[in-house]
Amino acid sequence: MPLVEIEDLKVSFSQYGGQVDAVRGVSFTVNEGESLGIVGESGSGKSVSCSALLRLLPATARISAKAIRLDGIDVLKANKDDLVRLRGRAAAMIFQDPMTAFDPVFTIGHQIVETIQAHRPLNKRDALAEAEQLLLRVEIKNARDVLGYYPHQLSGGMLQRAMIAMALSCRPKVLIADEPTTALDVTIQAQILQLIKKVQAEFGMALIMITHDLGVIAETVDRVLVMYGGEVMEQGPVQQIFDAPQHDYTKALLASLKTGFDPSADEDRTATPALELRGLSKTYRVGRRAGLFTNHSEFHAVRPVDLVVPRNRIVGLVGESGSGKTTTGMMAMRLTEPSGGQILVNGTDISTMGPAELKSFRRSMQIVFQDSYSALDPMMTLSQIIAEPLHIHGIGTAREQTEIALDWLERVGLPRNFGGRYAHELSGGQRQRVAIARALILGPTVLVADEPTSALDVTVKAQIIGLLKQLQAEMGLSMLFISHDLSTVKSLTDTVVVMYRGRVVEQAPTEAIFSDPQHPYTRALLDAIPADNPAKRRARTFLSADELAAATPRYTTIQTGLAPNATPQLITIAPDHRVEAIVTT
Amino acid sequence: MTTPDIAPVAPTAPQAYRQRSPMWFAWQRFSGNKAAIAAGVVLAILILMAIFAPLITPVPPEAQLFLTESLAFPSSQHWFGIDSLGRDFYTRIVYGARISLSIGFAAALFSVLIGIPLGALAGYYGGKVDWIIMRIIELFSVVPPLLAAMLLGAVTRGGYFTIILIAALFGWVQVCLLVRAQVKAFREKEFVRAAHALGASPWYVIRRHLIPNSISPIIVGFVLAIPLAMMLEASLSFLGIGVPPPTPTWGQMINEGIDFMFFYWHLAVFPTAALAITVLATTLFGDGLRDALDPTLKGR
Amino acid sequence: MLSFILRRLVSVAATFIIVSLIIFFMMHSIPGGPFDANDMPVSEAVRAKLMANLGLDQPLYVQYFRYMWGVLHFDFGVPYQSPGETVTQLLSRAWVPSLVLGGLGVLIGAPLGILLGMAAALNRNSWIDYLASTLATLGLTIPVFVTSMLLILVFAVWLNWLPASGWGKPERWILPITAYALIPLATYARYTRSAMLDTLNRPFVTVLRAKGLTERRIVFQHVLRNSAIPLVTVFLPMFIGTATGSIFVEAMFRVPGLGAYFVSSIETRDYPLEMALMLMITFMYCIAYLLSDIVYALINPRIRVGGGQ
């Protein structure tokens, strides 16, 4: 008998004006030790199906099924005691956002111990010792200290490890991982995925991996279930799904994973760059309270950065959270005041301009943001939103402004009659299209795109990238594309700049970055990209921050012609290819 | 820039799609709240009564026309009876609504007029401006409004307009905090940053984005300031430092009612009930508006 | 943590001094003094002598410092309305009824309110939820003197079960205590309910369920502890509400407490008594403010432990 058996599961929620069917007739099974991946976009019903398995859905949900069985227990008929046995012991779950998954007022140790004690007759001391062992098994080195920490004292990656330890504490037969790496950085994601696979093998558990990311699927599971709109599109062995997808939706998903490299039109090397940053830096004063007084120290969010965006080119700025990439983008737009350095737009320094002078330059530089929800004013209609730049700069009459706005609505692929709608009536991809129209309506020469696709579903992401690429070519835009995701950058950019802890560590033509990365951090980032086919699965080794620093490349004075210096500096090692390195004698 | 080939299409296209602005959803939520609807109806009736008081009462409120029948119980001629000074009590209750409601609305209006600019300033600029405004608010939170109002009432010897000013002095804090929170939240939104990136001035951003998006908390702050002001007026009048007699106010009537309540219950019951119903209706209406306009604020 | 308390202490002390200044100068700007010609027909010379005796001829700031110096020695002067004793003596007498009635009101009302709020949050849309909401709305919106009046009308006038006023025998306490208790009851019922509903909607509660904890443990350990954090911030408004309520409760039930003296001090322009009462009340609020800040920090590990990555 399979460990998990779901047959014809239907879940609906009652909302304003009727029912919303979240899951419509889903069936699947999981055997002992097997790993199943469920892939689908937001709203496809993948999480809801698994929550139903543990009866975790809110009371407003209506559930019906021919059978939901977990470890031989009929879930829908389970009583209180059965539920305690089901949850934690038959199946344990890890969640998307580790930051909100722990109770903030209790220590990590307390929360693991109470889980152990809920299922096993252990006294407090033994449970605590067990908790420490579990933390060690999920590769937390200072396990003893971590037991006494509160959740807010740990990073997201550490919390997700602790969450896995907690899930393991009662030796579940199946581990359900609901988008366990979506909220994490790429390198951390790779570590967590590898850890999940490791503990799955060690504990002999079955695994249900819920994700929107085919890369995660390719890395972790044996069998795949593709869901869309609350229904199963197709299922089969992972290799078969990747090599011979049957359903159109699966094909579309796979197509978005395969990205070709396609350079922009030829650049004119003699022309003034569209955007140039010279030694741009940002330092924050950080106050630390001590007694009645505050001690100030300096935090270097961005150390002096030099960066050039040539005309008609796309430059990718890549780094993880906290690398300073977004701050750099904001400073380039003069949305965050830089602490030092110059910003040259088409050869003119705008870093010290006053608001009035700056306003005319704003026409030639625009920005698209990450979060399409907050990017549009909820009280304005789409035509008002798109026409806002014309309104601010006093171009044309109100009627003409609306007309131009409607034209742009079409240009970004939305029907003209959307002009009267409000932002909340659109999907994420549609909102991002509107944001792009607003940014481009003034005909800028420079566009800063700050993670414009990171909040979107994969298939939509590909469409938005395509739109940006097309508009870039049509308008001859110079674009600074900020992203945490190297694989997105690969299909779009001409040059890649990698940032790490506020510094540029490497910059090179896109091809060179992917074929010949020099800096250890660039290599780590590339290595962390999930495989695009299960055949390419591999074990990875991860370097700590200290190990990364120790692996900084070294060049001799003869190679570089520079004086020896123990502090890493950017040196040119090939045409257009610069890397942070230490110059030795 | 004209595009004649598209122009005729838009107006003649069938209205297959229903326009749903954010306010449409607010109305949907509000109309589902029975208590708030009922409270709104009661409030509307009270407001109409106050406005048309001379039309629905038989005599002027201060006229001592029935001295011989002083303290008479309710009857078909005098629905709420006669008070100790020979005045028709129904008339005085109806005119009391005028005082109570007009002070409530006027004070709420002043509260909003002080609260919006201060809240917008604190929320938009942050830093020192915010620090100063928040310290002022902290002062107000340590001083109990009613005691301070009593002191002010004693200093100024009460009076209609003084009460309005005192109520506004303590009513703006709530509005200010609501607007500040909203502006602060929206200032970080990316559409505001986008406007900055387009070269919009702070004033443009405040006027076109922040104020329209703060309409909900402003309305809520306004409506919820009304019952507070009415309570303040009633409390001060109850203590004899509010609106001075012979102007009919409910607080004053309740105070007088204490002396008579064992024998002439009507003098205590009617003003008490009138005040309770009015304050309750306004609060329930305001709560309903808050839940409808800003579902995230619910129950706070 | 110590530095946190120290900083709050300084800030609260500054607030207290500013408020005391405002009160003092406001009080002295009241037109007319206790020895106005209308109220007390005495000769100009006698009036000047009286003013000098009481230090009322000095510049205001001198009067302020003199006054505050006295306050540090518990010397609030002599009340005009009963010159036979000091303000301190009068207040130590008036404290008792206010503290007994108000204290019992809070001790009964607050726990009841918390229980009611919990029951409402755990049984949403049940009769107890509606009862809690109704009680909370009534208690928070209707002025105390109105509820007091209704209590008297029902239980003293119509049913004739309980005495309507006075102070002394415990049966006279029941109605005023009920009137008092409604304030903390309403406040805590409302805020406990919303705090618990907020916590119940947070993602970690789902995680706790998925771990297989019993619903009882989730509610009584995790949800309660998290909901307590916002509840602490309600303490000050509740305290202010109850203390202010004493004015009306004591006026309605004819109890000779602090609130009653506050009213009479305003009516008779009794500066020393009024000033002493205002200062004392502000001081109490500052202490309550400080306490709720400290308790908030104590039960919130983000502040207590600090740090974070």
pLDDT digits (tens, 9 = 90+) for B36-57: 888 889 889 888 888 887 777 7
pLDDT above 80: residue A74? yes
Rounded to an integer, what distance in angstroms lies between the CA atom of residue A482 and that of residue A502?
14
pLDDT, mean of residues A194-223: 91
* Nearest chain A alpha carbon to C215: A80
User: What pLDDT is stored for residue C48 in this prediction?
Assistant: 73
And the tokens for A287?
A: 């106050």
User: What pLDDT is stored for residue B6 in this prediction?
Assistant: 33
Which residue did the predictor score with more confidence, A75 or B23?
A: A75
* Nearest chain A alpha carbon to B14: A417
pLDDT digits (tens, 9 = 90+) for A299-350: 888 889 899 898 888 999 998 888 889 999 999 989 888 998 899 988 888 8
Alpha-carbon gap: C300 to the closest alpha carbon of chain A (Å): 7
Q: Would an 8 Å CB–CB cutoff place A208 in contact with chain C?
A: no
Q: Would an 8 Å CB–CB cutoff place C26 in contact with chain B?
A: yes
And the tokens for A579?
A: 């890397």
- Flag whether the ipTM exceeds 0.90: no
* Nearest chain B alpha carbon to A415: B10
Report the 10 Å Cβ neighbour count for C1.
12
The pLDDT-based confidence of A259 (bands split at 50, 70, 90) is: low
pLDDT digits (tens, 9 = 90+) for C114-137: 999 999 888 877 888 888 888 888
Q: Would an 8 Å CB–CB cutoff place B230 in contact with chain C?
A: no
Q: Would an 8 Å CB–CB cutoff place B21 in contact with chain A?
A: yes
Yes or no: say if A96 and A180 are a contact pair by the CB < 8 Å rule: yes
8 Å CB contact of B276 and C137: no
Q: Would an 8 Å CB–CB cutoff place C13 in contact with chain A?
A: no
pLDDT, mean of residues B9-34: 62
Which residue did the predictor score with more confidence, C55 or B232?
A: B232
pLDDT above 60: residue B129? yes
8 Å CB contact of B231 and C269: no
> Which residues have C-beta within 8 Å of that of residue B140, sequence separation ≥ 6?
B170, B173
Number of Cβ pairs < 8 A linking chain A and chain C:
90
Rounded to an integer, what distance in angstroms lies between the CA atom of residue C11 and that of residue A427?
49
8 Å CB contact of C149 and B151: no
Rounded to an integer, what distance in angstroms lies between the CA atom of residue A173 and that of residue A161?
19
pLDDT above 60: residue C40? no
Which residue shows structure tokens 């009308």? C153
Q: Would an 8 Å CB–CB cutoff place A394 in contact with chain B?
A: no
Alpha-carbon gap: B12 to the closest alpha carbon of chain A (Å): 11
User: What pLDDT is stored for residue B300 in this prediction?
Assistant: 36
Least confident of A403-407, B44-48, C27-31: C27-31
User: What pLDDT is stored for residue A162 in this prediction?
Assistant: 93
How would you write A72-113 as a 3-class SS string? CEEHHHCCHHHHHHHECCCEEEECCCHHHHCCCCCCHHHHHH
Rounded to an integer, what distance in angstroms lies between the CA atom of residue C296 and that of residue A105?
12
Q: How far is CA C133 from CA A107, A230, C178, in A?
A: 35, 38, 18
pLDDT above 70: residue B183? yes
Q: Would an 8 Å CB–CB cutoff place B31 in contact with chain A?
A: no
8 Å CB contact of C251 and B239: yes
Q: Would an 8 Å CB–CB cutoff place A425 in contact with chain B?
A: yes
Q: Which residues of A touch B8 (CB under 8 A)?
A: none
Q: What is the dihedral of CA A121, A126, A131, A137, to 10 degrees?
A: -110
From the list C4, C212, C308, which residue is nearest A87 (CB)?
C212
Q: Would an 8 Å CB–CB cutoff place B19 in contact with chain A?
A: yes
Rounded to an integer, what distance in angstroms lies between the CA atom of residue B87 and that of residue B130?
52
Rounded to an integer, what distance in angstroms lies between the CA atom of residue A517 and that of residue A531?
18
Return the SS3 of A140: coil
User: What pLDDT is stored for residue A196 in this prediction?
Assistant: 92
- As a whole-number percent, the residues of chain B with pLDDT over 90 amount to 3
* Nearest chain C alpha carbon to B135: C15
pLDDT above 50: residue B15? no
8 Å CB contact of B254 and C146: yes
Helix axes B160-187, B127-142, angle to 10 degrees: 140
pLDDT, mean of residues B9-27: 55
Phi, psi of A24 (to 5 degrees): -125, 90
User: What pLDDT is stored for residue B5 in this prediction?
Assistant: 34
A576: left (phi over 0), alpha (psi -120 to 50) or beta: left
Any idea what DSSP says for residue A535? Answer: G
Residues 283-302 of C with CB under 8 A from B: 285-286, 289
**If you average pLDDT over each of A190-204, C34-48, C49-63, which comes out highest?**
A190-204
Q: Would an 8 Å CB–CB cutoff place B240 in contact with chain C?
A: yes
Q: Which of A359, A392, A446, A448 best probes binding to B when mutated, by most B CB atoms within 10 angstroms?
A: A392
8 Å CB contact of C309 and A155: yes
8 Å CB contact of B199 and A403: no
> Which residues have C-beta within 8 Å of that of residue C11, sequence separation ≥ 6?
none
From the list C6, C210, C222, which residue is nearest A103 (CB)?
C222
Which residue did the predictor score with more confidence, A121 or B3?
A: A121
Q: Which residues of C touch A102 (CB under 8 A)?
A: 204, 207
From the list C143, C153, C282, which residue is nearest B143 (CB)?
C282
pTM over 0.95: no
pLDDT above 90: residue A448? yes
From the list A88, A105, A150, which residue is nearest C212 (CB)?
A88
From the list A100, A153, A170, which residue is nearest C203 (CB)?
A100
pLDDT above 90: residue A436? yes
Return the SS3 of B94: helix
Rounded to an integer, what distance in angstroms lies between the CA atom of residue C24 and that of residue C27?
5
User: What pLDDT is stored for residue A449 in this prediction?
Assistant: 92
Across chain C, what does the average pLDDT equal? 80
B87: left (phi over 0), alpha (psi -120 to 50) or beta: beta
Strand-pairing partners, residue A367, are A448
Which residue shows structure tokens 């407001």? B47
Yes or no: say if A7 and A24 are a contact pair by the CB < 8 Å rule: no
Strand-pairing partners, residue A499, are A504
Q: How far is CA B139 from CA A172, A505, B148, B164, C236, in A?
A: 56, 51, 12, 20, 13
Alpha-carbon gap: C216 to the closest alpha carbon of chain B (Å): 24
Q: Would an 8 Å CB–CB cutoff place A335 in contact with chain B?
A: yes
Residues 213-252 of C with CB under 8 A from A: 213-214, 217, 222, 225-226, 229
User: What pLDDT is stored for residue C168 in this prediction?
Assistant: 67
pLDDT above 70: residue C32? no
Rounded to an integer, what distance in angstroms lies between the CA atom of residue C176 and that of residue C102?
9
pLDDT, mean of residues B24-42: 81
User: What pLDDT is stored for residue C72 in this prediction?
Assistant: 79
Q: Which of C8, C211, C227, C231 best probes binding to A when mutated, by most A CB atoms within 10 angstroms?
A: C211
Alpha-carbon gap: B120 to the closest alpha carbon of chain A (Å): 18
pLDDT, mean of residues B265-271: 78
CA B118-B171-B204 angle, 5° bins: 25
Q: How far is CA A445 from CA A312, A385, A389, A471, C135, in A?
A: 8, 21, 15, 12, 63
8 Å CB contact of C209 and A155: no
Q: Would an 8 Å CB–CB cutoff place A147 in contact with chain C?
A: no
pLDDT above 60: residue C258? yes
Least confident of A111-125, B71-85, C149-163, C248-262: B71-85
> Which residues have C-beta within 8 Å of that of residue A29, sequence separation ≥ 6?
A2, A4, A5, A6
Return the SS3 of A408: helix
Rounded to an integer, what distance in angstroms lies between the CA atom of residue C195 and that of residue C224?
9
Q: Which residues of C touch B279 (CB under 8 A)?
A: 141-143
User: What pLDDT is stored for residue C269 in this prediction?
Assistant: 73
Helix axes C258-267, C87-122, angle to 10 degrees: 120
Which residue shows structure tokens 């510049």? C59
Rounded to an integer, what distance in angstroms lies between the CA atom of residue B121 and that of residue B203?
11
Provide the CB-side half-sphere exposure for B157 (13 A, CA). Answer: 6
User: What pLDDT is stored for residue A17 in this prediction?
Assistant: 60
8 Å CB contact of C247 and B147: yes
Tell me the residue type at C262: F
pLDDT above 70: residue A289? no
8 Å CB contact of B209 and A359: no
User: What pLDDT is stored for residue A267 in this prediction?
Assistant: 59
> Which residues have C-beta within 8 Å of that of residue C295, sequence separation ≥ 6?
C232, C235
Report the 10 Å Cβ neighbour count for A8.
13
pLDDT digits (tens, 9 = 90+) for A511-563: 888 888 989 999 988 888 888 888 888 888 888 888 888 888 888 887 777 77
The pLDDT-based confidence of B1 (bands split at 50, 70, 90) is: very low
User: What pLDDT is stored for residue C54 in this prediction?
Assistant: 64
Q: Would an 8 Å CB–CB cutoff place C266 in contact with chain B?
A: yes
The pLDDT-based confidence of A195 (bands split at 50, 70, 90) is: very high
Alpha-carbon gap: A53 to the closest alpha carbon of chain B (Å): 30
Rounded to an integer, what distance in angstroms lies between the CA atom of residue B77 and that of residue B79?
6
User: What pLDDT is stored for residue A111 in this prediction?
Assistant: 93
Which residue shows structure tokens 């020469």? A445
Least confident of A185-194, A565-574, B105-114: A565-574
pLDDT digits (tens, 9 = 90+) for A14-57: 766 667 888 888 999 999 989 999 998 887 888 888 888 888 88
From the list B142, B235, B298, which residue is nearest C286 (CB)?
B142
Tell me the residue type at A145: D
pLDDT, mean of residues C47-57: 69
Rounded to an integer, what distance in angstroms lies between the CA atom of residue A472 and that of residue A477?
5
Task: List the one residue out of B292, B289, B104, B296 whose CA is nearest residue B181.
Answer: B296
Taken in order C103, C104, C110, C113, the sign of the CA dihedral is negative
8 Å CB contact of B200 and A392: yes
pLDDT above 60: residue A238? yes
User: What pLDDT is stored for residue C233 in this prediction?
Assistant: 81
pLDDT above 70: residue B11? no
Beta-sheet strands, E only, within A179-244 = 206-211, 223-228, 231-237
Across chain A, what does the average pLDDT equal? 87
Q: Would an 8 Å CB–CB cutoff place B198 in contact with chain A?
A: yes
8 Å CB contact of A375 and B194: yes
8 Å CB contact of C212 and A170: yes
User: What pLDDT is stored for residue C166 in this prediction?
Assistant: 64
A neighbour chains, 3+ CB pairs within 8 Å: B, C
Q: Would an 8 Å CB–CB cutoff place B48 in contact with chain C?
A: no
* Nearest chain A alpha carbon to C298: A105
And the tokens for A422?
A: 């409000």
From the list B146, B240, B261, which residue is nearest C244 (CB)?
B146
Report the 10 Å Cβ neighbour count for A197.
18
Any idea what DSSP says for residue A270? Answer: T
From the list A366, A417, A422, which residue is nearest B197 (CB)?
A366
Yes or no: say if A301 and A501 are a contact pair by the CB < 8 Å rule: no
Strand-pairing partners, residue A70, are A4, A73
pLDDT above 80: residue A288? no
Buried b (16+ CB within 10 A) or exposed e, C23-38: bbeebeebeebbbeee
Q: Which helix (H) or strand (E) holds A361?
A: helix A355-362
Q: Which helix (H) or strand (E) holds A491?
A: none
Strand-pairing partners, residue A73, are A70
